[in-house]
Amino acid sequence: MNRTGTTPALEHTFADLPERFYQALAPTPVAAPQAIRVNDDLARRLGLDPDWLNSAAGTEWLAGNTVATASRPLAAAYAGHQFGGFNPQLGDGRAILLGELRDAQGRLFDLQLKGAGPTRWSRGGDGRSPLGPVLREYLVSEAMAALGVPTSRALAAVSSGETVMRDRPLPGAILARVASSHLRIGSVEYFSARKDTEALQLLVDYALQRHFPAQADTDNPALALLNAVLQAQAQLVSQWQLLGFIHGVMNTDNMLLCGETIDYGPCAFMDAFNPDTVFSSIDHAGRYAYRNQPGIAHWNLASLAQALVPVLHRDPEQAVALAQAAVDTFSDHFLAAHTEGLNAKLGLTGQQADDAQLIEQLYALMAEEATDFTLTFRRLADLAHPEPGNPQDIGDLYTLPPAFDAWLAQWQSRLAREPGDPRARQAAMYRANPVFIPRNHSVEAVLTAATDHGDYAPFHTLVERLARPGQWDPGDRHLAMPPEAGQRVHQTFCGT
């Protein structure tokens, strides 16, 4: 535990890599930082003192105004495919990695300040963040963590006391973000594009040791890393699909090698089910629509495999063959993960011959009737074992239209063939099917209250409600309800 009144001690394993991996750079101080929210539970997990983080000294540290003498802050270099086009030089344009924290299990986590000032990769930007995107990322990343999805986490949100200019003057803020690391597919592409094989091999070895140490001693580290990332990304994107989550910008610089979700810019959770749903204001062609996410993940991983070719094998033809064979396994990994998750949502323990058709019919009905994605599955959990007085039942909030009746009869007949206790099966379904998600209209209302009126109470209320996504409470029904026609959010924005 960090001693009260002292700046936390950080490790700097990434800073030990050669200087071409980053720009050594301290955060740019801000005028008048004020703590908005500190994630006390996460702080304790990382050995930090929440009371100190909430103090004036802690706020100065979280804002980047105080940097310990022994610290080695930096902005990382990376490249990336953005909407399919390759940019060989992106890098942290408004984020500073302060260093790494180690939890009680010995695992390292990056601590990064987002909105901490300009770097060499800012491309003319101010390096700052408006308040709204900081609060959005805090809300959604913490909701994802509560939903069991691998994700970066929000340690704290701090207002800067400064104004940033976007389409209008906006209050500024800084997000203290924690991730298993910030190594991206684009990090590998950066050195591959420069034909820097030495750095590429160093990066492979570092990523393996940090994220997949069991594979670190393999004869082919690059292939081991590729296979591990493939499986982690297949698992991650399957979870997105199972929750109706749309990332919005699945560029290769936004996909972490460790398989955690990161960069919650124009992300959103689907309301009415439509597989072609797009929210991002910059995704004009629907490249990152809900239905396309698995295919885009596959595409991104093919880009990773191509970037690793120089270190996969000395023989270029053999290297390409190894890369292709690995990438070809993605569909199987994704299908296995998605099937397992969908079975959990529907109360099934194994696949039977007619299950695929049953599932296809469900999704077709959801699309035809435009039913709410989240509440459709949650209502199925109620109907898996209907009992009077069930405190988790949301029938007073949401019911399925009559068009579902024939399908429900087939599904309940299928459940009758399942072994085990129906009550235990229903409890498992409740765990797999949340009732509270970061509804787009609720998030926008929170951001408006904070940005336009300086009112953070709705933000705190929503953060605390989303920490218990599966626990139904009728008193919070307004936070579970789908939007009315006038509340629907049709576009989300990057906020950079």
CA dihedral 62, 66, 70, 72 (to 10 degrees): 60
Weakest-pLDDT range from 101-110, 275-284, 342-351, 401-410: 275-284
Mean pLDDT of 471-484: 94
- The pLDDT score that the predictor gives to residue 1 is 42
- The pLDDT score that the predictor gives to residue 474 is 95
Give 109's pLDDT tier (boundaries 50, 70, 90).
very high
The domain ranges of the chain are 14-179, 185-339
User: Within 13 Å of residue 342, how many CA atoms lie on the same side as its CB?
Assistant: 17
Mean pLDDT of 411-426: 94
Residue in this structure with the two tokens 């109706």, named with its chain if needed: 244
pLDDT in tens, 211-251: 999 998 899 999 999 999 999 999 999 999 999 999 999 99
Residues tagged active-site: 253
* Cβ pair 352, 252 in contact under 8 A: no
Give 486's pLDDT tier (boundaries 50, 70, 90).
confident
The pTM (predicted TM-score) of the whole model is: 0.96
